[in-house]
Each structure stands twice: as structure tokens, then as C-alpha cells.
Structure 1
């Protein structure tokens, strides 16, 4: 793959198990001991190792100056008082996971240390200074907190919490716990994988989220569109100069975004689920810990999205099954109704046939009755206007309504022609 400005070439990925171990190792890191030798009651820095100066800031890498002057922020946090106590009593002091804010203003950072203040003594046993020995545990502390949040996230997924809640909580977790300011965005892929939809971005401005909602996946479509297209991470360290952001540079400038590292979220079968992006206010190159963090939480996001898709498919299947069951129930009811109607028609036909036989018997004595002979047990007072006959030789006179009923419900019933002899002509056929 040809390198592009602001983009780090993708390195070959190790096996899944090995990759997970490397991500955890990158997150937890390897601690380096810091050492400084302080002299006298003013705690003047006589000597210190490079790790000590790297920790407090290379711009403060000086000796021959009191620690309170070199690091004035320590006074308000109680660390100078502890030095005074150790110097005065000669008793060492050990702190575990002690929180300290190093630096002031925009350059201040939170750090954690395991440390020991050990008194220095001369040949007579008099305390002449203090050795400061410590191990920074900031990376470990942050990683532990991140992994605890990661565990909570997995519990949410297991409880089938709504996808929007899971993704929003994940984004806020990373933003709150990351050592440097970061703004997290999760975009979800359409079923066809051609567009990305808003999933979660609690700290990005609404106008920005609305503008990128529905962007296409493709080469050069920002960091996320390109990552989704390539199915591999895309690291843009400076949006202002990267060609991938030509179409979105003004939008990013309005949102005060200067860097964007995007990682595709992939299902177990390799299909695209979405993208996980980490934005920064200043141009930045990711550290190994940043990339490990992205991989760990991208995996969790994939699990949440896949679970959501499974639940959606299950819900859709349940809806289809319910609809099919209701349709079958309607068909059964219709069949029962048709059968009942057919039975009613059969009963009506049998009743009408019986009435026609009775009418035929009466017809022998009275050629044409005045009233309808086709009424039910209560009879019919309507005038007898039409003569009907069946193929068995029975005939009767009836009113139009009962004649129509007979024709509809009794097989082989027809209107007899009286001018042609009616029943007699029919019997002599």
C-alpha cells in the first residue's frame, strides 16, 4: 500500500491470542524506577537519574536547586511536608499509588507513584538528606481503570443493554480515562456496508455528527470512510494537510479537530460493522498504548453491535412467526366458517327438498296453490307465482324469494314451464 501524508503504514498483525497479550502489555506498560538524592533541610537536588527528569519534564532537568523551587506544585499536595517529616524524624516513608499532579496550567498531568523517602545519614547517623526512589504506576493505574470499565461494558452487553447506551458509555469511559484529551466517535455500517451512520459521539458537536451521518465508505473519504473501505486502521495525524480530509477540512476546522485515528469494527466473519475513531484537538501521532486501547475497545464494540444485530434478527423472526401464526389462525377460522356455511346450505337444501316433495304431493290435489309452498315450518303467506321442479320429478309453487333460495341451495332445481305441461310434461319427457 502506498503511504500517504500523515498516515502510518499498517504493520502485519500477529495472531489473535498473541495480539491480545501484546495489547494488554502495551496498556499496562513497563515501569521505570526514578531516583533522586536530596541534601539538607531544603531538600536540594544533588543528583537524579534520567527517568526522574523525564518524569518531571526535561525542561526542569537541573541540580543544585531545592525541590520546592524546582517543583513548586508539590507543596500544595503535601509531598514537601512529607520530606520535612522524614528529614526531621529519620523515619522512612513509603507511599502506594500516590496521586500527584505534575506541572501547572495546560501542561499539568495526573500521575501515580509507588515511592519511598529514605533518610540519608552520615557516619555519625545524622540525617543529611533524603533518597527519593519511586516507580511511576500511572500507566498501570489508567490501564486498570480502563480494564475495569471494559469489564463493566461486557456486563452491559451480556445484559443486552440498548446498543446506544453501550456505545455512548464506552465513548465516555475512554474520554474520561485516557491520559490525554480525546474525543471518541462510533459510526455504524448500513447493511450493505456502503454508508456509515451515527452511533455515538458524546463530545463532538451536533453539527459535526449530523454532517458525517451517512457518509460513504470509500478510499479518501476521511479517516472513517477510508478505514471502513480498507478494513484496516487509518491514522491521520494532521487533518490540515492530509488529502483524505480535503472534502471535510472546513468541517473539521469548525469542530476544532486536528487529528483522527480510525479503526474498522469488523464482525467475526470479516464483514463491516462500523468504525471506532479517536479525535484530537492538536496534530498527534499515536503511541502503542493508543493503538492497543483502540483495538481493545473496538473488539468490545464489535461484540455489542453483533449482539444487537442478532437481537434485531431474532425480533424480526418473531414478528414474522407471529404474523404467520395469525395468518394460519385466520385461514383456519375461514375454513371453519366455510364448512359451517356449507353445512347450513346442506341442511337448507335438505329442508327445501323435503318441502318440494311435500308440495308435489299436495300439487296432485291442487294444480296451482294460491300461497307459496316453499316456506319453512311457519309457512309463507306470499302468493305462489313461480313453479320450480327438480330432476327427481318433484315440483312446487313459490314466491320469488323462496324460489331463488331453492335455486341457490338445491341442486338441479329449475323453473318449470307451465305452458309446456309443467310437471306432467316433465314426467313424460
Structure 2
């Protein structure tokens, strides 16, 4: 058969065709950000892989010619080898969406998410000889989606002015759920002078630990948080057992099962210290990009919550002060009114008593010493007249002890007449 002009002759050999496809795929994925690896045989020998694959699993493990289970031993406990075995056995491809993996181990372990497919490789006879792994890492997208949702919920909590302890506790729990690996979050609040840190929230740390660090000083070498507060910059301690910053707290951290602590200062817009935000780990840990992003985002959010709390406290204090001043003014006005009313009542009483004395004085010529009290007014008084009083005008009257005392208290010019009977002795002995 003659080939059509301008077109290459068809490839007749299936083995050759398969080789061409493999070469094309290697070329296609060589510089791609998509993950690609070609596995051979039932042991899933890593025959070739692109840089993105090795970047995903860790460049320190960039080698071929070894089984995937040996190159990535952590995959055995995550079901990867089981799925690969099934694809190799059945020849049926497998696709996963947003599948979670923990890559690496120890301090450098990280959480990752992938969209991927396992495609069987076949020889000329159709027998499965290996598997092609093709995937795209969706970790950042997945984390961003979760972060946005949790962050939005936290901002709504701040907007409705929930109590600060409730906001900080909710924030700590959200971070613990978002972090790639187990993390225990603590928020400490700075005293107004910035010299000490007080407990704010730490829902997953032991109570004895929270109580022990409540009130720690800020300063160089005072753990991760005290140092971060002093420096106004993040302090990363990856291994508490060897770090000099923790020499005074090493035993306490050991009792609490803490091995690493990354602390970020919480700063106000003017740069003043509001507190610290710490992420603890139970094993020595080096922070990943996702950890640092969480710390930056939520340290800023904590600053917003704390500043709002301070503003609300200042507003309430101002309102309380204004109310106290208003109440004091109202009390003073009431007191002034009461004093005025009392003075007016005293003046009326004095005028009435003065009139009574003048009326009594008019009768003195006819009855020098009446039998009954003359100071009872219109209502009269049937009590015996025992004491004589007079005023500066020369008017005098006899009255009972009760009415005499009333006259003395209310009429300033009234005095006890100096007579043997009905004089001062009678008043004192009333």
C-alpha cells in the first residue's frame, strides 16, 4: 500500500505503538505540574516519573527502579497498594477525587489531596504490564475552600459581638480541624502593659498546663510565646526537648505531651501587643506552608477579635461612666429638691409657730400662766403648759415639752424664758 503524500506511514507493530505512546506521555508530563509516574509489574516498580511526582512525595525520594511501596512506605497503611493491585489484576482503571494522603513521616509529614487516575498499561497481547499514575494535586484548593468557610464563620461570630472567650475557643477548634497534622492551639492575651500573657483559649491543652503558663512574662528565651511576644515576630521551636527557649518549661511540656511549639505574636493595627497565637504538636515538627498560612490568617483574625473586644469594653466603660455621672446628677437634683422642700416646710412651720406665739402673747396679760399648751395652733393642745418660751420681739408663750421643742428647732429667734418655773430646768428635765 502506498502512503498518502505528506503523511507518515502507519505503525503496524502494537509494541512499537505502545512504546510511542509511552514516550509521548513522558514528553507531555515531563515539565507539567500534573503528577505522572509509570509503574511496572505486580510490584509496581517505579519505572519513570516526572519532577512534579517527586516534588509531591519529597525530592529526597527522587529515584526510580524501586517498588512504590518501598519508595513510599506510608502508602501501605493508606490503601494505595491495595487499589493498585486491583487495577493491575482486573485491568480496570480507577479514578479518585480529592483523595487525602499523608506523605512522608515524622517531622516532615504533610497532608495532601489529589485528583488522580490509575490507568492500566498493556502489552501487544493486551496483558496488563503496569500502571500509569496521572494526577493533579488539589491540596491548596481544598485547604483554601475549608479555610474560607471556617474563616467566614469566625468573622460572622465576631460581627455579632460574641464573647471573646467564645470567639477564641471557636477559632482554636477550627484551626485544629484545618491543620494538616494534629495540632493543639493556644491563644494568650497580653496584659495592658504588655509584660505578661494571660490565658485566652486552649481547648485541647491540659488544664494544669494552661494554669501553669497563665501570667508568664514576655521576654527573650521565655518559651516560644514569651519570646514571640518580646520580639514581635514568629518563633518556631521544632523540638522542645533540645531548644534553649524551653529550658524552664521543658518538664512541664513533657508532662503535657508537647514536643514542638510555633508561636506568632498577635499585633494591633498600631503595632502594640495583643497576645500570642501558638500551635503545639505532640512530635517534633517542621512547619509546612499550610501551617504558616493558617498562623498568618488566624493571628490577624484574632487581632480583629481582640481589638473589637477592647473597643466594646471601652464603649461599655464609657457608657457606665456616663450613666454613673447621670445617676449622681439625678441624685444631687433629688437631694437639692428634698432640701428645698424641707427648708420650705421649716419656714412654714416657723411662720405658723411665730403666729401661735404672738397669739399666745396677746393673752398673757389676762392669763400669765395658762393651764394648757398655747402652741398647739388651730388644732389645739390639751397637754399642760410646763415651759415658757419667748422670741426676740418680746412675745412669750407657754407650751408642752413637745411643742416647745418644735418651736426651738424651727424658729431661730425662740429661746426659753429665764424663769424659775417653766425655765431651762423644766426643759432639760422634760
Q: Structure 1 196/418 Cα, relative in aligned 2: closer, same or farther at 3 Å? A: same
Structure 1 gap segments, 5+ residues each:
1-30, 423-429
Q: TM-score, normalised by structure 1?
A: 0.77
Q: Secondary structure of 1:365's match?
A: coil
Tell me, yes or no, if the aligned pair for 1:194 and 1:216 is still in contact at 8 Å.
yes
The whole-number CA distance in structure 2 between the counterparts of 1:64 and 1:251 is 44
Instruction: State the match for 1:144 in structure 2.
Output: 145
Instruction: State the match for 2:210 in structure 1.
Output: 209
Aligned residues: 386
1:276 Cα shift? 0.8
Instruction: State the match for 1:25 in structure 2.
Output: none
Instruction: State the match for 1:296 in structure 2.
Output: 297
Q: Structure 1 161/278 Cα, relative in aligned 2: closer, same or farther at 3 Å? A: same
The whole-number CA distance in structure 2 between the counterparts of 1:107 and 1:240 is 18
1:311 Cα shift? 1.9
1:354 Cα shift? 1.4
Q: Map of 1:100-179 to 2, 5 A cutoff?
A: 100=101, 110-116=111-117, 131-179=132-180
Q: Secondary structure of 1:211's match?
A: helix
1:239 Cα shift? 2.1
Q: Structure 1 79/107 Cα, relative in aligned 2: closer, same or farther at 3 Å? A: farther
Instruction: State the match for 1:345 in structure 2.
Output: 346
Q: TM-score, normalised by structure 2?
A: 0.77
Tell me, yes or no, if the aligned pair for 1:164 and 1:200 is still in contact at 8 Å.
yes
The whole-number CA distance in structure 1 between the counterparts of 2:238 and 2:275 is 21
The whole-number CA distance in structure 2 between the counterparts of 1:137 and 1:94 is 14
Tell me, yes or no, if the aligned pair for 1:360 and 1:396 is still in contact at 8 Å.
yes
The whole-number CA distance in structure 1 between the counterparts of 2:128 and 2:201 is 58
The whole-number CA distance in structure 2 between the counterparts of 1:77 and 1:128 is 17
Which range is displaced more, 115-124 or 345-354?
115-124
Q: Secondary structure of 1:264's match?
A: strand
Q: Structure 1 325/389 Cα, relative in aligned 2: closer, same or farther at 3 Å? A: same
1:152 Cα shift? 1.2
Matched, 1:218 2:189: no
Q: Secondary structure of 1:261's match?
A: strand
Q: Structure 1 78/131 Cα, relative in aligned 2: closer, same or farther at 3 Å? A: closer
1:202 Cα shift? 1.9
1:61 Cα shift? 4.4
1:173 Cα shift? 1.6
The whole-number CA distance in structure 2 between the counterparts of 1:129 and 1:241 is 47
Q: Deviations over 1:341-399 (max 9, x none)?
A: 22221221121111112112211222222222111323222232332222333221222
1:131 Cα shift? 3.9
RMSD: 3.5
Q: Secondary structure of 2:324's match?
A: helix
Instruction: State the match for 2:376 in structure 1.
Output: 375
Tell me, yes or no, if the aligned pair for 1:113 and 1:134 is still in contact at 8 Å.
yes
1:295 Cα shift? 1.5
The whole-number CA distance in structure 2 between the counterparts of 1:126 and 1:228 is 64
Tell me, yes or no, if the aligned pair for 1:74 and 1:80 is still in contact at 8 Å.
no
Which range is displaced more, 258-267 or 387-396?
387-396
Instruction: State the match for 1:182 in structure 2.
Output: 183
Tell me, yes or no, if the aligned pair for 2:110 and 2:288 is still in contact at 8 Å.
no
Tell me, yes or no, if the aligned pair for 2:107 and 2:286 is still in contact at 8 Å.
no
Structure 2 gap segments, 5+ residues each:
1-31, 424-430
The whole-number CA distance in structure 2 between the counterparts of 1:396 and 1:154 is 84
Tell me, yes or no, if the aligned pair for 1:263 and 1:276 is still in contact at 8 Å.
yes
1:124 Cα shift? 11
Q: Map of 1:21-420 to 2, 5 A cutoff?
A: 32-38=33-39, 45-56=46-57, 61-63=63-65, 73-74=78-79, 78=83, 81=86, 87=91, 95-100=96-101, 110-116=111-117, 131-417=132-418
Tell me, yes or no, if the aligned pair for 2:88 and 2:128 is still in contact at 8 Å.
no
1:300 Cα shift? 0.6
Tell me, yes or no, if the aligned pair for 1:102 and 1:109 is still in contact at 8 Å.
yes
1:400 Cα shift? 2.5
1:120 Cα shift? 6.4
Q: Secondary structure of 1:377's match?
A: helix
The whole-number CA distance in structure 2 between the counterparts of 1:77 and 1:386 is 119
